[in-house]
DNA sequence: CCCTTGCGTTTTATATACAAAAAACAAACT
DNA sequence: AGTTTGTTTTTTGTATATAAAACGCAAGGG
């Protein structure tokens, strides 16, 4: 990883490093001496500005991976694994803090009723209060904390009540979305996607012993496909909360994963079949059944957590 | 308004000024020479810290309204109207910007597809980018804007689609909440409140010609009473969006207000009666009917706006 | 002992500073 | 006319500075 340009700075340069690694990967597939794509093409491919691409190009030249020849850039040597920046450095401070904060919360390090101060969190996570203050409203949106004006934030806790409330809304939304799904024509994009997802479910079911770790991604795609068809920004937005919660909860609650995956796959298939048959009654039944299972899994994992780390404090409001 | 302490500063001192005015109002009801309540009592009454109260006391002493006598503070003269700070200065920068931003949006000054940059907004509203960056995620939660990472924000517009989507969710939530309302005992707080609200409806209906402006507050209380009983943080949170939207929309759309108020009052009464009768069928009917009317009012006012100010630009995404 | 005030410390609200990244502009090349 | 690269300007992400406000301890008084 040799650019010699990691001075210090206030903004961090995760975008640069991510793009650098991206270009590096592109170089890997090119023969020696091949010409690089234009700056415009690269910026489009990596979804960053041309400014960043130019900085990356300069870095790659400095590292001896590219060389300039009459304006064009050519591959001078193939990149080594060592040329890339460590993955950790390719995510912004903000994203890192969000992840760490959620992990910390879901790990049960603090109990319901705990007061969070921005200043302390900033110290704890080694960033400025700016970043913390940017994220707290986000977690409020998740229903995890509550603001006291001019003062600290109240942590409401990942409690059974939280699970119940989130699932109450989730069920309303998913049922509503499912109903709009059956109104779409068979040849619409969501229907095509759903048939693919069904096939993937069968494949995964066959190789469940080895591949059950691939389930979360499939789960997300199924439910998102359903939610998308509701074509309602508030419903989609809410699914982002669900999605986040599951992502982090899954990492925590690894017990029994294979068995739970099997159950979920089975329930999903019933749900999908009902959807594709446009059988409203069966959809309702399958959907409710699946969400009920999912909710008890979440509740069980919350219970477990409360037993493992018995809330360090419990000062009421 | 004489404290001589309005230097400049980075935080603004709206809390101080609001508390100062609050104490002033308290002084108004006291006889000359009466002793002020303790600092603790005052801080409780005004919901600010004792620190602020002490600063206010100092200000009042400097203004000659209070005088110290062996530790105690006594009323030296009655306050004049002129002693108070102007209301405008008693709200924080943040709240001011939020209000102005929403008014600007709802006034239709920009059209769907417009790109908002934090820097420009800061200039426009005469604040720092910090405040703007704090509020944009809030409006994203409202479904009004969408973030492009590392770049500007996309204004999605107060469009018919917005109204439709928000009402789709509102209906789901309100019906759900109404159903949980009938499960409560007659002597529960919400039921008592509901009976009061019913009475107020009848009073307002009788004096509608002069008092129709008092309807919005009543409307808010009715719907919030229903929503509260759902006991679900996500449902409550969503009603905050509705509430905000109505607050600002009402100011814009003054046409026909009396007629619309009459319709709403009538529909409300049908709804309330159905609730108090625990008649599920009738609740459903009345609730849907009312929300349907409300939605068409919103849609009409959106249409009007789009005609009046024909979106200055319409660059697609 | 509980409540009061006085006072020092910490935290919040807001503005500003500055490197990284994006956007806009311009010249050169097809 | 449409791309490509070079250059300048603007905006974003993050840290920091500072007054206002909140918090918490200590001493005095009923």
Confidence of residue B70 (pLDDT cuts 50, 70, 90): confident
Residue-averaged pLDDT of chain A: 92
Q: Which residues in chain B have Cβ-Cβ distances shorter than 8 Å to A92?
A: none
- Residue B31 burial (CB count, 10 A): 7
C7 C1' – B17 CA distance, angstroms?
A: 23
Whether B48 maps to a domain, the answer reads yes
- In this predicted structure, the answer to whether residue A55 has a pLDDT above a threshold of 70 is yes
More confident residue, A23 or A309: A23
Whether A9 maps to a domain, the answer reads no
Single residue among A155, A173, A190 that ends a domain in this structure: A155
- The span from the CA of B192 to the CA of B49, in Å, is 34
Q: Calculate how close chain A gets to B97, using CA atoms only, in Å.
A: 17
Residue A304 is predicted with a pLDDT of 85
- Beta carbons of B154 and B113 less than 8 angstroms apart: yes
Residue B310 is predicted with a pLDDT of 52
User: Same domain for B138 and B169?
Assistant: no
Instruction: Read off the pLDDT of residues B242-288 as tens digits, 9 standing for 90 and up.
Output: 999 989 888 777 788 899 999 999 999 999 999 999 999 999 999 99
Single residue among A155, A185, A206 that ends a domain in this structure: A155
What CATH number is attached to the domain comprising A112?
1.10.10.10
List protein-proximal bases of chain D (any atom < 7 A from a CB). Answer: 3-8, 10-24
Single residue among B114, B136, B155 that ends a domain in this structure: B155
User: Same domain for B221 and B298?
Assistant: yes
3-state SS of B152-179 is CEEECCCCHHHHHHHHHHHHHHHHHHHH
- Give A66's contacts (C-beta < 8 A, 6+ positions apart): A27, A36, A57, A60, A73, A74, A75, A76
Rounded mean pLDDT, A4-28: 82
Which of A101, A104, A105 has its CA nearest to residue A93?
Answer: A101
Q: Which residues in chain B have Cβ-Cβ distances shorter than 8 Å to A234?
A: 143, 165-166, 169, 238
- CB contacts < 8 A, A to B, total 52
Exposure pattern of B224-258 as b/e (b: 16+ CB <10 Å)? bbbbbbbebbbbbebbebbbbbbebbbeebeeeee
- In this predicted structure, the answer to whether residue B317 has a pLDDT above a threshold of 80 is no
Site from A18, A172, A227 to mutate, B interface, most B CB atoms within 10 angstroms: A172
Quote the number of domains for chain B. Answer: 3
- The runs of H, that is alpha helices, within chain B are 14-28, 39-46, 50-62, 93-106, 118-125, 129-141, 160-181, 189-206, 208-211, 215-230, 233-252, 257-277, 280-308
- Give A273's contacts (C-beta < 8 A, 6+ positions apart): A198, A282, A286
Confidence of residue B309 (pLDDT cuts 50, 70, 90): low
CB contact under 8 A, B233 and A165: yes
- CA of B71: nearest nucleotide by C1' is C5
Residue A126 per-residue DSSP state: T
User: Same domain for A165 and A185?
Assistant: yes
Residue B315 is predicted with a pLDDT of 39
Structural element, H or E, at residue A229: helix A215-230
> What are the residues of chain A with a beta carbon less than 8 Å away from any beta carbon of chain B?
15, 48-49, 130, 133-134, 137-138, 141, 143, 150, 156, 165-166, 168-169, 172-173, 176, 231-235, 237-238
- Residue A227 burial (CB count, 10 A): 26
User: Same domain for B231 and B304?
Assistant: yes
Q: Is the CB of A69 under 7 A from strand C?
A: no
Q: Is the CB of B92 under 7 A from strand C?
A: yes
Rounded mean pLDDT, B44-71: 96
User: Same domain for B164 and B225?
Assistant: yes
Question: From residues 209-238 of B, which are strand C contacts by CB within 7 A?
Answer: none
User: Same domain for A303 and A164?
Assistant: yes
Residue-averaged pLDDT of chain B: 92
What CATH number is attached to the domain comprising A169?
1.20.120.530
Residue A310 is predicted with a pLDDT of 52
Whether B4 maps to a domain, the answer reads no
CB contact under 8 A, A169 and B234: yes
- Beta carbons of B145 and B139 less than 8 angstroms apart: yes
- Beta carbons of A84 and A21 less than 8 angstroms apart: yes
Chain A: residue nearest B176 by CA? A172
- The span from the CA of B99 to the CA of B79, in Å, is 31
- In this predicted structure, the answer to whether residue A128 has a pLDDT above a threshold of 90 is yes
Tell me the percentage of chain A whose pLDDT exceeds 70.
Answer: 94
- CA of B116: nearest nucleotide by C1' is D11
User: Same domain for A169 and A300?
Assistant: yes
- Give A98's contacts (C-beta < 8 A, 6+ positions apart): A135, A138
Instruction: Read off the pLDDT of residues B195-233 as tens digits, 9 standing for 90 and up.
Output: 999 999 999 999 999 999 999 999 999 999 999 999 999
- Residue A95 burial (CB count, 10 A): 12
Do the bridges between strand B153-155 and strand B115-116 make them parallel or antiparallel, or are there none, so unpaired?
A: antiparallel
- Beta carbons of A49 and A36 less than 8 angstroms apart: no
Whether A316 maps to a domain, the answer reads no
Whether A313 maps to a domain, the answer reads no
- In this predicted structure, the answer to whether residue B307 has a pLDDT above a threshold of 80 is no
Q: Calculate how close chain A gets to B227, using CA atoms only, in Å.
A: 13
- CA of A95: nearest nucleotide by C1' is D13
| Structure tokens belonging to residue B137 | 């995620």
Q: Which domain holds residue B304?
A: 160-308
User: Same domain for A205 and A289?
Assistant: yes
Confidence of residue A107 (pLDDT cuts 50, 70, 90): confident
CB contact under 8 A, B137 and A138: yes
User: Same domain for A45 and A147?
Assistant: no
User: Which value, to the nearest 10 degrees, does the dihedral of the CA atoms of residues A215, A221, A227, A233 take?
Assistant: 120
Whether A277 maps to a domain, the answer reads yes
The residue with tokens 């509608």 is B208
User: Same domain for A175 and A280?
Assistant: yes
Angle between helices A215-230 and A257-277 (to 10 degrees): 30
Tell me the percentage of chain B whose pLDDT exceeds 90.
Answer: 84
- In this predicted structure, the answer to whether residue B316 has a pLDDT above a threshold of 50 is no
Exposure pattern of A130-168 as b/e (b: 16+ CB <10 Å)? ebbbbbbbbbbbbbbbeeeeeeebbbbbbeebbbebbbb
Instruction: Read off the pLDDT of residues A146-204 as tens digits, 9 standing for 90 and up.
Output: 999 999 999 999 999 999 999 999 999 999 999 999 999 999 999 999 999 999 999 99
| Structure tokens belonging to residue B236 | 């409550």
Instruction: Read off the pLDDT of residues A269-296 as tens digits, 9 standing for 90 and up.
Output: 999 999 999 999 999 999 999 999 999 9
Whether B101 maps to a domain, the answer reads yes
Rounded mean pLDDT, B158-170: 97
Instruction: Read off the pLDDT of residues B92-146 as tens digits, 9 standing for 90 and up.
Output: 999 999 999 999 998 889 999 999 999 999 999 999 999 999 999 999 999 999 9
User: Same domain for A169 and A212?
Assistant: yes
Which of A272, A271, A276 has its CA nearest to residue A287?
Answer: A271
The whole-model pTM stands at 0.92
CB contact under 8 A, A141 and B172: no
Whether A5 maps to a domain, the answer reads no
User: Same domain for A96 and A63?
Assistant: no
Q: Which of A150-164, A253-267, B301-315 has the highest mean pLDDT?
A: A150-164
| Structure tokens belonging to residue A163 | 């699970």
């Amino acid at each position: 990883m040799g650019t010699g340009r990691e001075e210090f700075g206030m903004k961090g340069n995760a975008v640069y490093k991510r793009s650098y690694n991206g270009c590096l990967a592109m170089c890997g597939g090119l023969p020696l001496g091949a010409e690089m794509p234009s700056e415009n093409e690269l910026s489009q491919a990596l979804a960053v500005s041309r400014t960043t691409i130019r900085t990356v190009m300069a870095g790659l030249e400095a590292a001896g991976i590219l060389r300039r020849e009459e304006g064009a850039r050519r591959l001078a040597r193939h990149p080594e694994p060592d040329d890339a920046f460590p993955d950790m450095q390719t995510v912004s401070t903000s994203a890192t803090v969000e992840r760490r904060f959620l992990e910390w919360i879901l790990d049960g390090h603090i109990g319901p009723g705990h007061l969070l101060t921005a200043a302390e969190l900033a110290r704890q996570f080694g960033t400025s209060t700016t970043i913390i203050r940017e994220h707290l409203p986000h977690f409020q949106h998740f229903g995890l904390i509550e603001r006291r004006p001019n003062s600290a934030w109240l942590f409401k806790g990942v409690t059974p009540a939280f699970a119940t409330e989130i699932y109450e809304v989730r069920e309303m939304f998913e049922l509503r979305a499912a109903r709009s799904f059956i109104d779409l024509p068979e040849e619409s994009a969501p229907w095509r996607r759903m048939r693919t997802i069904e096939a993937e479910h069968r494949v995964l079911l066959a190789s469940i012993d080895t591949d059950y770790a691939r389930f979360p991604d499939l789960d997300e795609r199924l439910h998102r496909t359903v939610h998308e068809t509701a074509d309602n920004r508030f419903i989609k937005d809410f699914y982002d909360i669900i999605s986040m919660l599951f992502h982090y909860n899954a990492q925590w609650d690894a017990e029994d994963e294979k068995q739970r995956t099997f159950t979920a796959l089975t329930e999903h298939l019933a749900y999908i079949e009902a959807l594709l048959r446009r059988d409203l009654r069966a959809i309702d039944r399958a959907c409710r059944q699946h969400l009920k299972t999912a909710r008890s899994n979440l509740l069980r994992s919350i219970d477990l957590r409360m037993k493992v780390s018995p809330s360090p404090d419990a000062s009421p409001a």
